Structure 1
């Protein structure tokens, strides 16, 4: 009897974790203009799902709609108010043809200097790509820096 209870409890916890982890890869509802066959979407969330005091993050999702692999090199800049500007390093990622890369597993996460996930609803706060280069490639391998 106890063994069955533990099995049910284990399966319930396991199913919940699977559901949470798969949910985290979805809900990229905000879409930007396509760039050279790359569909760009994003979401702004807390770094820790259950901790509303954790830092806010921009999580990106890139979908390569091309028939060839693409190397992408990009940089993000965001500002809050008129004086605070923050810039990411240059990020490089290769996406195979007709594939998608998204969020934490792909390193497409940028932590903000606030825990306010509604920061960009404010008129004097914004973020943008200051660089977004897409290069056709035969296979996915890192770009030279």
Structure 2
């Protein structure tokens, strides 16, 4: 099968801010028969940047809102499958459907999960927690990325 993944599903997870900067890769995947599944958490904002504005800038919000077109619709326009998930109970079936399309039909799928605007903790790279930075001054800060604490 073109673009075979050797029996292992390839799944990417991203927020809508990061996805907006990299969604063109779907066109590459479709064009070169590279079947992947992308899960996009769409909360209609730059969540990490907005959380930084809460933590460090006294809730002075600048350019944090992202009202965008449907990422599932954009995926379809690029030749991929697109699934919009509006309810928590739809997540599992959508992921199963996307992985099945990837593994059995060699298709790329974008799952767009519509989320609340609740802000979580952003990932802050090691340079952001060096002595003297605003992040270091937040008491009890523990930054992790992929299970590694910084």
**Which structure has the highest helix share of the two?**
2
Q: Same fold (TM over 0.5)?
A: no
* Structure label with greater radius of gyration: 1
Instruction: Tell me the TM-score normalized by structure 1.
Output: 0.25
Instruction: Tell me the TM-score normalized by structure 2.
Output: 0.24
